[in-house]
Amino acid sequence: MNNKYYKRSRISEAKFRHLIRCFSLDLTASETAELTGISLR
């Protein structure tokens, strides 16, 4: 994958894609964190 943002992340590619999908659906950061299991910090 040639995504410079994913390379620096500490999460799996699947979680990264899920995160992007949530934001593309206009979910808030709180809603996205709850759905993906990733903390806001």
Tell me how many domains the chain contains. Answer: 1
Task: Assess if residue 21 is contained within a domain.
Answer: yes
pLDDT at residue number 26: 95
pLDDT at residue number 32: 92
- Tens digits of per-residue pLDDT, 1-41? 577 777 777 888 888 889 889 999 999 999 998 998 888 66
Contact 36, 15 (CB under 8 A): yes
pLDDT at residue number 28: 92
Task: Assess if residue 39 is contained within a domain.
Answer: no
pLDDT at residue number 31: 92
pLDDT at residue number 1: 55
Task: Assess if residue 1 is contained within a domain.
Answer: no
